[in-house]
Chains A and B, each alone.
Chain A
Amino acid sequence: MHALSALLARCNAERRSLAIVGGDTLRAMLLPPATESVLLSTASLARIVEHCAADLTVAVQAGVTVRALAQTLGAAKQFVPLDAPHADRATVGGTLAAGWLGPRRHRYGRPRDLVIGSVAVLADGTIAAAGGMVVKNVAGYDMSRLYAGSFGTLAVLAQINLKTLPLPQRQRAFLARLPEGTRERAAAALAALAAPPAAAFWIDGFQSAVDGDEGDDGRLVVLIDASDAALERSTLDLRSALGRAGVPETRIVDAGAREAFERTVDACVATLGERSITYRLPEGDVPPPRNAVAALELARAHALRGEAIVDVMNGDAFVRVSDLDARALGTKIEAFDDALHAREPHARVVAGEHPIRNDLAVFGAPPPAIAQMRALKARFDPHAILNRGRFVGGI
């Protein structure tokens, strides 16, 4: 931490820009670093500082991987629902900094909702703590949540303190092929369940990347987190609701439920090298998966292949558009990007290797409070050394 502070202070004095990297799993959510940037990896901040199992809290350094955290907590039958793609590489700091929104957030809260404290290093080397190791704390401004989602442009997160939750006793995944004309009814049935699933995805495409078989109307991957006592009832409710929605068969996966869930999360940001761009569409005014279906039609209209993973419980969608080769994608994607943003102003790029990505509306519509955000950036990092120019509105 002190080495990090010294490094930042030096770069600040020299006005040298730094590109901050955690597990490098969500890099496409940000613009690429300027070529003269110094790469700052949080990999050496890999210590679990303190797991207070009896308090249901944990303090970790930013570079701890999501998997390592899960393993430590799992040994005490606890977890933090970060649900980041590529958990083996994704870091806790990077997941928070990127404002990643896991599919179980409707149930357990957003990752930032579980943050109870942090230690951050500012551009000038100042080491600043906020919050602590208690689960309720209103002493001072909520700096930790301000840093979450800031992509390291205000400060480098060095340590994060989190609330942990008791691990569900059982996890069960369900896979279903959807007969024609059932996708909207199936999604509505899932959202209305008295025992809501922990996560539910409607998927069109992503053939081998996710489990199950595709039906005429796509497929479902559903995850239930339940106690021993509630598992069978949740299963029964789910199957009968889907049955009424016209989905006759669901396959149960018990061993490997978590893996099936994780493969789906990974697929949300999976690329086809330079042949694809993936957008995240926020929950819209229409019930899922209608917003994604409209985006898929738009892709077809632009002669692009479209695939979608819709997070039914939260309403947002990941839409991947691709073509046979990078050149073909490059000729069509800008027109698609314009058309998509005309419909979905808040659509954001979350994955894609094609260099043209940088010319797209990566962050969607500029936020109304962009002036306040720029002022914050200027006050925290006046020489813009932290991820210079990589975030929304040139921040």
Chain B
Amino acid sequence: MLQQRLIDALGADAVKTSPEDMSVYAFDAYSQGRNPSAVVLPADVRDVSAAVKIARECREPIVARGAGTGLCGGAVPIEGGVVIAFARMHRLLELDVRRRRARVQPGLINLDLSRAVAEMRLFYAPDPSSQKASTIGGNIATNAGGPHCLSYGTTVNHVLGLEIVDENGEVFTTSIDDAGYDLTAALVGSEGTLGIVTAAWVRLMRLPESVRVWVVAFGEIEAASEAVSAIVAAGIVPSALEMMDAVITAAVEEAFHAGYPTDAAAVLLIESAGLEDDMNAYEAAIKHIVEAHGAISWRSARTQAERDALWAGRKGAAGATGRISPNYYTQDVCVPRSKLPAALRAVEEAAGAHRLVVGNVFHAGDGNLHPLLMYDRRDARQVAAVIETGNAILQSAIDLGGTISGEHGIGYEKRDAMTRVYSTDDLATMARVRDVFDPQRVLNPEKIFPRGARCPEVKPPTLVQ
């Protein structure tokens, strides 16, 4: 009934119904939900609207999905239902070079946008490590970050307006230039629980005149993290300030030969972008600080090719750990930047207590940690250890005045941890927004908000990484 109605409305090629085809859409990069009742691949906003209306009439929940690269179960259909996947809506619709803005479909891959506008000397700033695969729509749902958010801000700062299909299948638009409430800001980061993005106006930025990249090695991880805190405290905000520990650089060098030193306990990847005139002073200031904190080597990437190789290594770091461990789990927490050394110590202790290998690769300048916990999912003891360690890291970030997700989202994974950072009143206030946009809780149900009395207990999804 549901499947046939969707096929009638959208066409057979836009609807997947076989269990094998649909099983792919039960996963993201974190976990597995139930097999959906149907998967639709809309071609335009009318298809999305029709699919939502049919799903509602058939009393099925609706889960919007970009590339499925999410790390917290955000796109996983916990209750099954209709998955709306945006793979076919991947076009750049309009480009306004003078005003530096673009209108895009949600399935457009993040990196494809920057590539498409590069010849106009423009780029799209949010650059999650998944940017070769993840979509603008998915990035909007999670308010995605990335290394360059340090100076340019996260996705919310780059979205100018949205076209949304609501829980009833009706279409409305938002713009940050409209009078009234900033619905754009409320919708960005709402993880598909308030509406489904079918188009977005995004801000583009001018490529900087000059870019420099430096690789700094440290003999101790503590010294590296203290150097990061000191750079920030000195009022220096580079365009990116990333950190990798020895576990990660070893894997990265084996996989990519990117040019990172493998004899260091920790490496900082620092990028400065802006006016050529500023670069020497910038370099001197940063060099002074890292040397005062015991840096053992300093290298400038001389060419574009060198810079690209370093960045490719950094963005491929998580994948590269496949060489040292069958599985890994990525935690995502954010702490005040002066607390970085303490947060890293806590990671070390938590992993050590469970005898897990941990690799750290993260947005140090933002205080946004990503410990990668290595494990083998065939070993139940290791799986349990990963869950406990992840949890301990979460708690340590909270204890340091931080938060439970810097950029990956809450999704299914961290919903119950929301009560650790927010009061009942705080959460009830957020739920008021949900009441307006999704009173029946049919849009991506069982996400963000903690399990309450009114929600049935569901089986936790399995860790699949």
**Residues of A that sit less than 8 Å from B by CB:** 52-57, 77-78, 99, 109-110, 112-113, 120, 122, 126-130, 132-143, 145-146, 148-150, 154, 165-167, 194-195, 227-230, 233-234, 282-283, 287, 315, 346, 348, 363-373, 375-376, 379-380, 391-393, 395
**Of A122, A126, A129, A228, which is within 8 A of B281 by CB?**
A228
**A residues near B402, Cβ cutoff 8 Å:** 132, 134
A368 with B172: CB separation less than 8 A = yes
Q: How far is the CA of A117 from the CA of B402 in the complex (A)?
A: 12
Is residue B445 within 8 Å, beta carbon to beta carbon, of the partner chain? no
Across-interface contacts of B179 in A (CB, < 8 A)? 346, 348, 363-367, 392
B135 partner residues in chain A, CB cutoff 8 A? none
Q: Does B255 contact A (CB under 8 A)?
A: no
Of A166, A233, A368, the contact of B237 (CB 8 Å cutoff): A166
| 19 sampled A-B residue pairs with Cβ under 8 A | A52-B336, A52-B338, A54-B337, A54-B338, A109-B157, A132-B403, A132-B421, A137-B405, A138-B410, A141-B186, A141-B189, A141-B433, A148-B182, A194-B209, A228-B281, A346-B178, A368-B178, A379-B435, A379-B436
The residues in B between 235 and 257 inclusive whose CB is less than 8 angstroms from any CB of A are 235-237
Apart from A130-B430, A138-B406, A143-B429: 5 A-B pairs, beta carbons within 8 A:
A52-B338, A56-B235, A128-B428, A230-B275, A230-B277
The interface bits of chain B over 204-245 (1 if a CB of A lies within 8 angstroms of the residue's CB, else 0) are 000001000000000000000000010011011100000000
Interfacial chain B residues near A150, Cβ < 8 Å: 181-182
B232 to chain A, nearest CB (A): 6
In the complex with contacts A136-B366, A143-B429, A146-B186, A227-B278 CB distance below 8 A: yes
| Cβ–Cβ contact A229 & B181, under 8 A | no
CA–CA, A116 to B142, complex, Å?
A: 16
Q: What chain B residues lie within 8 Å of A379 (beta carbons)?
A: 432-433, 435-436
Q: Are B405 and A138 in contact (CB-based, < 8 A)?
A: yes
A55 to B402, CA, bound (A): 12
Q: Are A369 and B183 in contact (CB under 8 A)?
A: yes
B21 to chain A, nearest CB (A): 31
Complex partner residue of A140 from B280, B368, B410, CB under 8 angstroms: B410
Q: For residue A380, which residues in chain B have a CB less than 8 angstroms away from its CB?
A: 432
Closest B residue, CB atoms, query A286: B98
Complex contact B275–A195 (CB within 8 A): yes
Residue of A135, A167, A371, A392 ringed by the most chain B CB atoms within 10 A: A135
Contact A139 B429, CB 8 Å, known A52-B336, A282-B177: no
What is the CA–CA distance of A150 and B182 in the complex, to the nearest angstrom? 8
Of chain B, the residue at the smallest CB distance from A231 is B277
Q: Given A128-B425, A128-B426, A195-B275, are A136 and B185 also a contact pair (CB < 8 Å)? A: no
Q: Is residue B418 within 8 Å, beta carbon to beta carbon, of the partner chain?
A: yes
Assess whether A55 is in contact with B337, with CB atoms less than 8 Å apart: yes
Return chain B residues, CB-CB under 8 Å to A194. 209, 275
Q: A129-B426, A154-B181 are in contact. Are A369 and B143 (CB under 8 A)?
A: no
Query: What separation, in Å, do the CA atoms of A122 and B425 have in the docked complex?
Result: 10
Tell me, yes or no, whether B26 is within 8 Å of chain A by CB.
no
Bound CA span A78–B233, Å: 10
Query: Which residue of chain B lies nearest to A363 when distances are taken between CB atoms in the complex?
Result: B179
- Nearest CB in chain B to that of A376: its residue: B436
On whether the beta carbons of B182 and A137 are closer than 8 Å, the reply is no
A376: which B residues are within 8 A, CB to CB? 181, 432-433, 436
- Contacts A135-B366, A137-B334 given; indicate if A142 touches B429 (C-beta within 8 A): no
Is B40's beta carbon under 8 Å from chain A? no
- Does B409 make an interface contact (CB < 8 A)? yes
What number of A-B contacts does a CB cutoff of 8 Å give?
218
B69 part of interface (Cβ distance < 8 Å): no
Say if the beta carbon of B321 comes within 8 Å of chain A: no
In the complex, whether B2 has a CB less than 8 A from a CB of chain A is no
| 8 A-B pairs closest in CB distance | A166-B235, A145-B185, A128-B429, A367-B178, A54-B233, A136-B406, A363-B179, A230-B277
How would residues 349 to 364 of chain B score, 1 for a CB under 8 Å from any chain A CB and 0 otherwise?
0000000000000010
**Cβ of A126 to closest chain B Cβ, rounded Å:** 5
* Complex: chain B residue closest to A230, CB-CB: B277
What residues of chain B lie closer than 8 Å to A372, measured between beta carbons? 172, 183, 436-437
Residue numbers in A under 8 Å from B367 (CB-CB): 55, 134-136
Complex interface: chain B residues within 8 A of A122 (CB): 429
* Interface residue? B346 (CB, 8 A): no
Indicate whether B145 reaches chain A with its CB closer than 8 angstroms. Answer: yes
Of the four ranges (under 10, 10 to 19, 20 to 34, 35 or more), the interface on chain B belongs to 35 or more
B336:A55 contact, CB within 8 angstroms: yes
Q: A136 to chain B: which residues have CB within 8 Å?
A: 145, 149, 154, 334, 363, 366-368, 406-407
Within the assembled complex, what's the spacing in Å between the Cα atoms of A57 and B182?
23
Instruction: List residues of chain A with CB within 8 A of the CB of B176.
Output: 110
Residues of B within 8 A of A128 (CB): 425-426, 428-429
Knowing A136-B407, A146-B181, say if A55 contacts B425 (CB, 8 Å).
Answer: no
* Cross-chain contact A395 with B180 (CB below 8 angstroms): yes
Expressed in whole angstroms, the minimum distance between the Cβ of A178 and any Cβ of chain B is 21
CA gap between A264 and B155 in the complex, in Å: 31
List residues of chain B with CB within 8 A of the CB of A287.
Answer: 98
Q: Cα distance A331–B409 when bound, in Å?
A: 55
| Chain A: CB-nearest residue to B188 | A142
Convert B422-460 into 0s and 1s, putting 1 for each residue whose CB lies closer than 8 angstroms to a CB of A. 110111111011111100000000001000000000000
B338 touches A141 (CB 8 A): no
- Closest chain B residue to A53, Cβ basis: B233
Please, which residue of chain B has its CB at the minimum distance from the CB of A364?
Answer: B179
A364 to B435, CA, bound (A): 28
What is the chain B residue whose CB lies nearest that of A145?
A: B185
Query: Is the CB of B190 closer than 8 A to any CB of chain A?
Result: yes
Q: Which residues of chain B have C-beta atoms less than 8 A from A129's C-beta?
A: 422-423, 426
Q: Is B404 an interface residue (CB 8 A)?
A: yes
Which residues in A have their C-beta under 8 angstroms from that of B403? 132, 134, 137, 139
Taking the closest CB of chain B, its distance from the CB of A280, in whole angstroms, is 11
- Given known pairs A136-B149, A230-B277, the reply for A369 and B425 (CB within 8 Å) is no
For B170, give the chain A residue with the smallest CB separation. A371
- CB pair A134–B281 under 8 Å, yes or no, is no
Q: How far is the CB of B373 from chain A (nearest CB, A)?
A: 20
Cβ–Cβ < 8 Å partners of A146 in chain B: 181-183, 185-186, 433
* Set of chain B residues within 8 Å of A149, measured between Cβ atoms: 181-182
Q: Report B383-406 CB contacts with A as 1/0, cut-off 8 Å.
A: 000000000000000000111111
Chain A min CB distance to B185 (Å): 3
- Chain B nearest CB, measured from A28 CB (Å): 14
- Closest chain A residue, CB of each to CB of B235: A166
Closest B residue by C-beta to A148: B182
Are the CB atoms of B428 and A126 closer together than 8 Å?
yes
* Residues of chain A lying within 8 A (CB to CB) of residue B401: 132-134
CB of A142 within 8 A of CB of B337, answer no
The CA of A55 and the CA of B13, in the complex, are separated in Å by 52
Q: Are B427 and A140 in contact (CB under 8 A)?
A: yes
Question: With a CB–CB cut-off of 8 A, which chain A residues contact B277?
Answer: 227, 229-230, 233
List the A side residues contacting B366 at CB < 8 Å.
135-136
Contact A113 B181 (CB under 8 A): no
Name the residue of chain A whose CB is nearest to the CB of B406. A136
B378 in the interface (beta carbon within 8 A): no
Knowing A135-B366, A145-B186, A229-B280 are in contact, say whether A140-B422 is a contact too (CB < 8 A). Answer: yes
Pair B278/A229 contact, Cβ less than 8 Å: yes
